[in-house]
Structure 1
Amino acid sequence: MAAPMELYCWKGDWGLPTVDVDCLTVLTYAKFSGAPLKVHKISNPWRSPSGQMPALKTQDEGVIFQNTKIINYLRKQKYNADYDLSAKQGADTLAFISLLEEKLLPALIHTFWVDAKNYVEHTRKWYAELIPFPLNFFIPNQIHKSALERLQLIRGESWAEEDDALEKQLYADAQECISLLSQLLGTKKFFFGDSPASLDAHIFSHLALILNTKLPSNRLQQHLKTLNNLCQYCNSILNIYFEREGDSIPRVAPKTPTAETPDSDEEPHKRRNQILSVAVALLAMVGYALLTGIVSIQHVASDSALERRLTVDDNEEDEE
């Protein structure tokens, strides 16, 4: 029997199987298409074979990352959630996915990674508690930087964090997009009828994060909760496809490894990787301290030090 495909993704919380929008998209699509995946929910991207998440480990094409590439690979393996769609529905799928990435995703990134209150009190804190020491000192900053770069790429050169007018427009576009999705869904179970498709995986992954996350400031959630059909849509998918996968266990609770732990056989050289991780992290921390001036190294010539010492001694003798 061929080895199963292995998916590496972020752990879940708040009743969701994973907290990352791209990971949730791939997981949901796999559920819809029936793809047999061995899922590794981890809290350290260094344990992913690509160093990124989501990442799909395959027998024939190695490691694939990015949600669109993973979904395309699953389609090639005959796990196609869009098999029954018409040509028009296929075109609509591409159009609405582009709409999500242009209008809703930027506001989602801003909510978690740019909004100062949310980032300090929730997002960075969550990742710092989850990621093992000492990696939690700098991996959240790397994710933060990547999120800002992604937002800049989507919104273009005109985007600026401190521009209140652009921020207001960003959330207005997102709320307009959510309202449009509510109109399109109507009373249907899924966006194309009674069966889920890839469009549902993309829409659900965005809306479920907005709906389930408890943030200090969540303007999108307030708007989404006024649209009952979208709230029922998200809850229905969670109950049907992820009933037992929401992570409700406290994040910081210690976990004793057992023979049944799913990740126990992931890394044949786990201890070596841990040692290397710690060494690299310590070097990075020392380098950061030196670059920022937290720690400085001063060299004092021995002759100068001796001369100063002799001067002090002479002064002491004169006083006597």
Structure 2
Amino acid sequence: MAAPMELFCWSGGWGLPSVDLDSLTVLTYARFTGVPLKVHKITNPWRSPSGSLPALRTSNGEVISVPHRIITQLRKEKYNADYDLSARQGADTLAFMSLLEEKLLPVLIHTFWVDTKNYVEVTRKWYAEAMPFPLNFFLPGHMQRQHMERLQLLCGEQRPESEEELEKELYQEARECLTLLSQRLGTQKFFFGDAPASLDAFVFSYLALLLQAKLPSGKLQAHLRGLHNLCTYCSHILSLYFPWDGAEASPPHQTPAAPETEDEPYRRRNQVLSVLAGLVAMVGYALLSGIVSIQRTSPARGLGTRALGMAEEEDEE
């Protein structure tokens, strides 16, 4: 009997099954299709077989770590949420996917990773509390830099020179995009009728993060909450497909330790690597900041001295 597929993704918070956009998208698509997965919700990307999240380990041991490729693999396994779509609906899916990436993704990155108030009070706070020591000291900052680089790529060379102008332009386009989505959805349960498709997995993930997070600076959040059909749409998907993920859980590292599993050797290895990396980072910081200095002495002085059909688990760090 083939081993079950395993999905490694960021853990949940803010009333959502995952706080990460890509992880939430893959989780939602998997729940829509009922694919049998063993889900590892973790807060340490080093425990993923690819070193990043989300990541899918197939039944033959192949590791896939890009959301679109993960969904393509699930389709190959005959779990296709778009199977009944017409050619026109397929074309609409591609068009709206491009719209999401062009108009909503930049603002989502800006909201959670660039806006100082949101980053400090919401994003960094969650990751710093959820991640194990010593990763929580330096990994959130590293992730922020990665997201800022991604935002620069998305905005391209035509971006306004002024940050204020850029922010104004991004948020204006995002509001127009949300309004268009609201008009396209209308009174339907999902974008193509009574059954969810892959487009719904992506749209839900974008909208749910904006709706659920308690953002101190919520420019786009206020506009979204005024579009009642989109709010109802998100609530419907949460209650129908994630009924036991609605309550906000405590950070995983505060819960009792899980029993030892077959992943234990990797866990021990990564714990050791985590501690070593933390020590190196702290020593480097101390040297660079002048807290600790190294002085040479003459020889005479001597020498000094780590579902629906889905079995889910909250993995401990």
Q: Could you tell me whether the CA contact under 8 Å between 1:18 and 1:24 is conserved in 2?
A: yes
Give 1:41 shift.
0.4
Report whether the alignment pairs 1:267 with 2:259.
no
Question: Aligned pair in 2 of structure 1 residues 274, 252: CA closer, same or farther (>3 Å)?
Answer: closer
Q: Tell me which amino acid in the other structure corresponds to 1:185.
A: L
* Among 259, 274, 278, the residue aligned to 1:277: 274
Cross-structure match for 1:179? 179
Structure 1 gaps, min length 5: 306-320
Question: Aligned pair in 2 of structure 1 residues 298, 13: CA closer, same or farther (>3 Å)?
Answer: same
Bigger radius of gyration: 1
Deviates further, 142-151 or 249-258: 249-258
Cross-structure match for 1:118? 118
Deviates further, 233-242 or 135-144: 135-144
Q: Secondary structure at the match of 1:79?
A: coil
Give 1:215 shift.
1.1
Question: Distance between the aligned counterparts of 1:283 and 1:253, measured in 2?
Answer: 23
- Taking structure 2 as the reference length, the TM-score comes to 0.89
Q: Secondary structure at the match of 1:89?
A: helix
Give 1:58 shift.
1.1
Q: Tell me which amino acid in the other structure corresponds to 1:157.
A: E
* Among 295, 299, 305, the residue aligned to 2:296: 299
What's the CA shift string for 1:81-102, capped at 9, x where partnerless? 0000011111111111111010
Cross-structure match for 1:95? 95
Q: Could you tell me whether the CA contact under 8 Å between 1:257 and 1:264 is conserved in 2?
A: no
Question: Distance between the aligned counterparts of 2:286 and 2:258, measured in 1?
Answer: 38
Q: Could you tell me whether the CA contact under 8 Å between 1:12 and 1:246 is conserved in 2?
A: no
What's the CA shift string for 1:206-264, capped at 9, x where partnerless? 000001110111111100111110000000000000000235222277322244xxx84
Structure 1 segment 87-236 matched on structure 2, within 5 A: 87-159=87-159, 163-236=163-236
CA RMSD of aligned residues (A): 2.0
The structure whose RCO (Cα within 8 Å, separation 6+) is larger is 2
Question: Aligned pair in 2 of structure 1 residues 113, 162: CA closer, same or farther (>3 Å)?
Answer: farther
What's the CA shift string for 1:16-55, capped at 9, x where partnerless? 0000011010001011112111110001111111111100
What's the CA shift string for 1:283-318, capped at 9, x where partnerless? 122224334545332325578x9xxxxxxxxxxxxx
- Taking structure 1 as the reference length, the TM-score comes to 0.89
Q: Could you tell me whether the CA contact under 8 Å between 1:128 and 1:136 is conserved in 2?
A: yes
For these two proteins, the number of residue pairs brought into alignment is 301
* Amino-acid identity (%): 63
